[in-house]
Structure 1
Amino acid sequence: MTAWRRKHSARTPTTLAATMGVCASLLTGCGVLPGDARADEGDEGTVTVMTWAPQNTQATNMPGMPGMAEAYARWVDATGGINGRKLRVLTCNDENTAEGVGRCADRARAEDAVAVVGSYSQHGSTFMTALESAGIPYIGGYGLTDEEFTSPFSYPVNGGQATLIAGNGHQLADRCERVSLVRLDTVAGDQLPRLLNAGLAVGGRGPATDIRAPEDASDYTPQARQALAGVTPKDDGNPDSACVTAVLGGRTDTFFDSFRRLSEDGGPVRIASVVGSVQQSLVDATGGPDSQWEGAYATGWYPVATDPRWGTMRDVIREHAFGDNRIDPADPGVQTTWIAYTVLRAALEHADGPVTARSVQRALEDMPPVETEGLTPELSWGYDDLLAVRDHPRLVNSMVTFQQVKDGRLVPVSEGFADMRETLEAAPVG
């Protein structure tokens, strides 16, 4: 057992009852258990899975995730398969809509996918209900929705938005007396202020000013003005201790463009975000060391993209992506998909007998912890591995990394990972 692994044998009665209730509702009255259909009926040597993500929409797009999934499948097939089986990856555009991800889930069921792997969607209540009814496990979602951390069919590989935002509060508490949070005016966005404030409270800081923003705006001047007002000193305090953090996905840089124009004459204000809303490609595209991101703080799930632990993933992209420009090795979506497929491979190697959705789920429950070359803690979803964080009973990885843009590069601020479990446990109920 490594230093990463913590065993937590107790879960709250409410959590356990909820989990068992979901399972019972799925199985009651069924002559055949969900997921028993053979995934490889037509081809004994092929295993089918699906990866979905939004592409070509007016909001957040994550095309690198299906791109990484396809490259992974080519690598698997070029190296002899998994236990001799080829990997067939279906990809689907969830369109950032409940209807879109519902169609993706329907296709996964119709084509006998044994798992949905390394995917992104904001519509957890839609896709998780569909996967539960089909008995299909969801491995390594991006971590946007509550359902990814509550459903017994979900196997998250990171701590989702909750750990990022709590970690961002930790990171800023050491540096900022006043903080404004700019976040999406969505149900998922409504959870962020309490999580950021829980992190700030660890450092003795008061709550952030909460500013809601639309997801598809082309200008955020009103929100930028509110953010600046929220950190303006009301006395002779040090203006350097003013920080604005924005978590708007693909619109984060649009917000900071608006913010920069307002704040140029307003004294120094440090900007911040979480990896995913800011990443290396964005810093490069906006001027590198001359970018407005220079000096910005960022909280991530994984080591920085230049860390040698990403070496195998980079090799696979170089040799099997065939110049697919959707795939950016520094994209946390791409990184999450890589880790999710690492977990899938371990499950397929451990599964007994015919490969079905049920046999994959059984493997996920009882296989040895999955090593990810140090990119995460060892990952395991047995009863004793669940951290039992309130509202996140499926959470097994509460680690984050603290980063900063220096000389145009995202670099680590400190060695190793910081554990957000206690902060998540202390956060008010959402």
Structure 2
Amino acid sequence: MTGRRRTRSSYLPGTGRFTRSVRARTATLVAGASLLAGCGVVPGTTGGAGDDPVVVMTWAPQGTGATNKPGMPAFAQAYARWINDNGGLDGRPLKVLTCNDHNDTVGAATCARRAVKEGAVAVVGSYSQYSKSFFPPLEGGGVPYIGGYGVTEDEFTSPLSYPVNGGQPALLAGLGEELAKTCGRIALVRPDTIAGDTQPVMLDAGLDTGGHSPSKDQRAAEDATEYGTAAEAALREATGGATSAKGCVVPALGDRTSIFMDSFRRVRDDWPAVRTASVLGSVDQTEIDSTGGTDGPYEGSYVTGWYPVASDPRWDELKKIIKEEAFSDTRIDAEDTGVQTTYLAFTVLRQAVASLKGGKVTADSLKSALDDGLKVDTGGLTPTLNWEFSGRLGSVGFPRMVNADVTLQVVRDGRLVAARSGFLDVTKSLQAASLK
């Protein structure tokens, strides 16, 4: 008895069209060609504008000595395979270009120029610290930047930026509000970079909202291979040099946080009352596991994030995409905030394309849709997203910031879990920071 084989719609790269495929996709090219010849348009697609792929780019640093986000472009490609297997973006095939910005100004500018040159209608779900390099080419080419990681201020000021979260400002302000209730002296360990220079302002704004004194700013090299000196200095700052004093150390070094914590564990024995806290993107479940879980330095630590915890059922579609299209790709982790942000950025793109109702998808048409009041529903993973310069966050100095909500998480029994239900709005702290 022969079983019935499952079929799916799949995009054929280079053709601009879809065909029907079974599990062994290569065996169906002839069948797809027959459909094209017999009907002109394959079921599940639209004619006209729907024949041309929607081209976007996703970039991130990979293989560098500082922060790397390989999961973001890898997930973008997995998302393209998944959406094309399910009829495309409102019937249009999606093509994702990827680029490595190499964590430098030249690489960031190169990626942006390539996006414009190769006809990308948007840059989606990307990470780069070098907005001064990548925004001018994008703005010159009129290409929108959807769902960047929020690591630079320009992502909240450029008219072509459409962020899905409050970036580092919101995370640090939210962490400051919480630590004001529980910590004595606080030492912030952050990168000695232009992007890192904004971190103390945001953390201190949250601390001030909670009635706490400012943090001690501890700069550290972004690409160091060990942080013993920085760790010891942070412990002294957090305690005033008294080994029995309570205090908090807040490492916010991105991918290098794990290296810092390795050094921190080696020197912290003399300061047993010191606690740690951080933000997602610098700390995740993998980092907590690698530093000892329940017995590690993060136990009891508060961590702020932009979204619900990874175990929340609202992430089920993200996990389904990974399972179906990238199960064996170790670069992609559903708990990675970069992957989560990329997923939300493509959610924005998907709804923006649908709002065009079959019209041509261009950089201009997407920008018009996003600027003209489009409300994007993310299924509760964020508030409804709507980009307007006249919004209440315009007074913060970040006119493109439409989401100042963060979640508060805590490491309990070695697991990162929700510390409270719902979101915390940090608009008040961000407004205070903008006045400094």
Q: Give the TM bin, normalised by the shorter chain.
A: 0.7 to 0.9
Encode CA deviations 1:63-96: one digit per residue, 9 max, x unaligned.
0101111111111101111221000000111100
* 1:137 aligns with one of 131, 144, 148: 144
* Partner residue, 1:127: 134
Tell me what 2:313 maps to: 308
Task: Determine which of 332, 339, 344 is the counterpart of 2:344.
Answer: 339
Farther-moved stretch of structure 1 (279-288 vs 343-352): 279-288
Q: Which residues of 2 match residues 182-331 of structure 1 at below 5 A?
A: 182-232=189-239, 239=245, 241-331=246-336
TM-score by length of 1: 0.87
Taking the aligned partners of 2:106 and 2:428, their CA distance within structure 1 comes to 37
CA pair 379-108 structure 1, distance change in 2 beyond 3 A:
same
When structure 1 is superposed on structure 2, of 270-279 and 363-372 the one drifting more is 363-372
Take 2:379 and 2:50, find their aligned partners in 1: how far apart are those partners? 32
- Give CA deviations for 1:22-72 in whole Å, capped at 9, x if unaligned: xxxxxxxxxxxxxxxxxx999833110000000011111000101111111
Tell me the equivalent position of 2:183.
176
Does structure 1 retain, via aligned residues, the 8 Å contact 2:186–2:238?
Answer: yes
Unaligned residue ranges in structure 2 (runs of 5+): 1-46
Once the 2 structures are TM-superposed, how far is the Cα of residue 287 of structure 1 from its aligned partner? 2.9
Tell me the distance in 2 between the aligned counterparts of 1:206 and 1:389: 24
| 2:431 match | 425
SS in 2 for 1:174: helix
**From 161, 166, 170, the counterpart of 1:159:** 166
Q: What SS does the aligned partner of 1:173 have?
A: helix
Alignment size in residue pairs: 389
**C-alpha displacement at 1:124, in angstroms?**
0.3
The aligned residue for residue 364 of structure 1 is 370
- 2:407 and 2:121 map into 1 onto residues whose CA distance is 32
Task: Write the deviation string for residues 332-380 of structure 1: whole angstroms up to 9, x where unpaired.
Answer: 0000000000000011111262111000101111253111111000001
The separation in 2 between residues aligned to 1:41 and 1:210, in whole angstroms, is 57
**Contact 1:118–1:141 under 8 Å retained in 2:** yes
The C-alpha deviation readout for 1:283-333, integer Å capped at 9, x for no partner, is: 123333233322222111111111111111101110111411110100000
Task: Give distance in 2, aligned partners of 1:42 and 1:84.
Answer: 9
Provide the residue aligned with 1:16 in structure 2: none
- State the Cα deviation string for residues 121-169 of structure 1 (Å, max 9, x = none): 0000111111000000000000011110110000000001100111110
For the pair 1:375 / 2:381, whether they are aligned, the reply is yes
Q: Secondary structure at the match of 2:217?
A: strand
Q: Flag the structure with more relative contact order, 1 or 2, with Cα contacts below 8 A and sequence separation at least 6.
A: 1
- Residues 168 and 106 (structure 1), Cα distance of their counterparts in 2 relative to 1, 3 Å cut: same
CA RMSD of aligned residues (A): 1.9
**Aligned equivalents of 1:151, 1:233: Cα separation in 2:** 41
Match in the other structure for 2:81: 74
Matches of 1:327 and 1:427, distance apart in 2: 34
In 2, Cα distance between equivalents of 1:60 and 1:180: 21
Structure 1 residue runs without a partner (length 5+): 1-39
2:371·2:388 contact (CA, 8 Å) conserved in 1? Answer: yes
Deviations 1:181-204 (A, max 9, x none): 111111111111111111111221
Classify the secondary structure of the residue corresponding to 2:277.
Answer: strand
Moved more, 176-185 or 315-324: 315-324
Q: Shift of residue 233 of structure 1? A: 5.0
2: CA distance, partners of 1:408 / 1:367: 43
Q: Determine the structure 2 residue equivalent to 1:146.
A: 153
AA aligned to 1:331 is: D
Specify the structure having the higher radius of gyration (Cα).
2
More deviation, 382-391/202-211: 382-391
Cα pair distance change 1:216/1:41, threshold 3 Å: farther
State the alpha-carbon separation in 2 of the partners of residues 321 and 400 from structure 1: 28
SS at match of 1:427: helix
Change (3 A) 1:147 1:75: same
Query: Hey, what's the Cα distance between the residues in 1 that align with 2:226 and 2:326?
Result: 35
Q: Tell me the SS of whatever aligns to 1:119.
A: coil
Go from structure 1 to structure 2 and tell me whether the alpha carbon gap of 1:59 and 1:258 turns closer, same or farther (over 3 Å shift): same
Cα pair 2:58 2:126 within 8 Å, conserved: yes
CA distance in 2, matches of 1:45, 1:114: 12
Partner SS state of residue 387, structure 2: coil
Asked if the contact 2:105–2:133 (Cα under 8 Å) also holds between the matched residues in 1, the reply is yes
**Equivalent of 1:395 in 384, 390, 401:** 401
1:114 corresponds to which of 105, 118, 121: 121
CA contact (8 A) 1:350 1:367 kept: no
AA at the equivalent of 1:255? F
Contact 2:397 2:434 in 1 (8 A): no
Measure the CA separation in 1 of the matches of 2:49 and 2:330: 33
Matched, 1:84 2:91: yes
Q: What TM-score results when the alignment is normalised by the length of structure 2?
A: 0.86
Distance in 1, matches of 2:179 and 2:381, equals 24
Q: Structure 1 residues 397-406 or 257-266, which shifts more?
A: 257-266
Taking the TM superposition and a 5 Å limit, the aligned residue runs for 1:3-152 are 44-152=51-159
User: Given the alignment of the two structures, is residue 405 of structure 1 paired with residue 402 of structure 2, yes or no?
Assistant: no
